Amino acid sequence: MPANPQNVIANLKELHALTGDDRGAQRVAFTPMWTKAREWFVSKLKELPVEHHFDAAGNSWVTLAGVSARSLVLGSHLDSVPNGGWLDGCLGVLTALEVFRAFAEDYNGRPPVTIRVVDWADEEGARFGRSLFGSSAFAGTHSIAADRSRTDREGITLEDALRACQIDMDKIGNASVEREHLAAYLELHIEQGPVLERMGLPLAAVTGTKGVERHSIVFHGQEAHSGSTPMSDRRDALAAAARLALEIRSIAGKHSDSVCTMGSVKTFPGIVTAVVGRCETTLDQRDLDAEVLAAMYREAQEASHRFAAQEGCTVDWSKIWSIEPIPFHPHLIDLCEEAIREVAPRSHRMPSGPLHDAAEVARLGVPTVMMFVQSLKGISHNKIEDTRIEDLMLAVDAFHRLAAKTMQWIEAQ
């Protein structure tokens, strides 16, 4: 039986109507709306011959037992950012569910290999700033000590929010038991960028996720009265930070797929009548090549010290978080391209700038690949996020073909 794209689109619209409003999707992880979305998802399993459970980290697993215990896992995440779009994350979960249904019918509930669907807990990190929460617990890269005291805007700790969802933070590492018999992992996602639309292509095979270096940078100058301090006597911390914010463009521009972003700036004392004495900023740098990423980090550090000296300031760096570039499995990339070419005139290979749960799975050495579908105007994490219906239909078809090819590959091993 072919996977039915109309079922996926109908479910996407139903989920959005249930958990969104006029500002967009509101399925922020570890909130009542997220729980509502997950309950709705479980209700869709009633007529399938499957087992469902939540693991120790809150990941939701659906299993269709096969002749072989070796498993093909299809997944993504139902959680969203606040005021998010109707496709980010949930497209992958609901397409996986439809492919799952098709396999159950094809093989009368007993496929050659075990098929599993996973909805990872808190991919976005929107509430507590800890992205890939569930998949990192699964992969064994979780950081309980660092995450325990994370708080949201209301001062609620991550640990307390987990407890409210019946998740014991000290036991989230037990999610690793789900790795048993895992043979391959596939994920469908919207691109969240403008590349495919600019190329006039609906789909792409993803070669891997870019590595990330994320740092906090604090420039220290001297607070002074804005009216009485001559320009030549100022030690303006914001001026040094501003110079770096412009310099990172040229640092990233030396490499075709690199990106650098200073996305947060806080000034102190933060009033109009005072020269900035301290400026706290953040820098996010990404590339698929580890050597390029290291070079960009080094160049940004050197530039920050140079600009600090020019403005009579000093600068301190501290790491927020980092992850190495994660390449996907070469043969699965080939299968992904093959599946795309069966439904579209041509394919394209590209890295993913955003992080995804697939990266945590691939870090384990599990054969992994992602498929991207075009995003209109390259916009995501926004209520206007959209993809053409015809492209969504192609994506469901191509992803089903990729899953079938991967299952055959697992069988042959």
pLDDT given at position 389: 98
Average pLDDT over residues 135-147: 94
CA 27/CA 33 separation, integer angstroms: 5
Tell which phi-psi region holds residue 178, choosing left (phi > 0), alpha (psi between -120 and 50) or beta: alpha
Burial 142-154 (b: 16+ CB within 10 A, else e): beeeebeebebee
Q: Which tens digits make up the pLDDT trace of 263-318?
A: 999 999 999 999 999 999 999 999 999 999 999 999 999 999 999 999 999 999 99
CA 5/CA 127 separation, integer angstroms: 32
The pair of three-digit structure tokens given for residue 134, joined into one six-digit string:
């569930």
CA 285/CA 215 separation, integer angstroms: 9
pLDDT given at position 146: 87
Q: Which tens digits make up the pLDDT trace of 308-346?
A: 999 999 999 999 888 899 999 999 999 999 999 999 999
Q: Which tens digits make up the pLDDT trace of 217-239?
A: 999 999 999 999 999 999 999 99
By C-alpha distance, which of 216, 207, 228 is closest to 350?
207
CA 400/CA 310 separation, integer angstroms: 58
For residue 299, the tally of other CB atoms under 10 A from its CB is 18
Q: Which residue has the tokens 């579908």?
A: 373
CA 117/CA 76 separation, integer angstroms: 9
Q: Which tens digits make up the pLDDT trace of 58-83?
A: 999 999 999 999 999 999 999 999 99
The pair of three-digit structure tokens given for residue 110, joined into one six-digit string:
């007993």
Average pLDDT over residues 32-43: 98
Cis amide linkage into residue 269, ω under 30° from 0? yes
Could you tell me what percent of the chain has a pLDDT over 70? 100
Mean pLDDT over all residues of the chain? Answer: 97
Confidence of residue 256 (pLDDT cuts 50, 70, 90): confident
SS (H, E, C) the chain: CCCCHHHHHHHHHHHHHHHEECCEECCCCCCHHHHHHHHHHHHCCCCCCCEEEECCCCCEEEEECCCEEEEEEEEECCCCCCCECCCCCHHHHHHHHHHHHHHHHHCCCCCCEEEEEEECCCCCCCCCCCCCHHHHHHHCCCCHHHHCCCECCCCCEHHHHHHHCCCCHHHHHHHHHHHCCEEEEEEEEECCCCHHHHHCCCEEEEEEECEEEEEEEEEECCCEECCCCCHHHCCCHHHHHHHHHHHHHHHHHCCCCCEEEEEEEEEECCCCCEECCEEEEEEEEEECCHHHHHHHHHHHHHHHHHHHHHCCCEEEEEEEEEECCEECCHHHHHHHHHHHHCCCCCCCEEEECCCCHHHHHHHCCCCEEEEEECCHHHCCCCCCCCCCHHHHHHHHHHHHHHHHHHHHHHHHC
Parallel, antiparallel, or unpaired for β 278-287 and 259-268?
A: antiparallel
CB 201 within 8 A of CB 390: no
- pLDDT above 80 (res 1): no
pLDDT given at position 323: 87
CA 89/CA 354 separation, integer angstroms: 12
- Partners of 188 in beta bridges: 371
- For the entire predicted model, the pTM comes to 0.91
CA 333/CA 71 separation, integer angstroms: 19
pLDDT given at position 322: 87
The pair of three-digit structure tokens given for residue 287, joined into one six-digit string:
């590339």
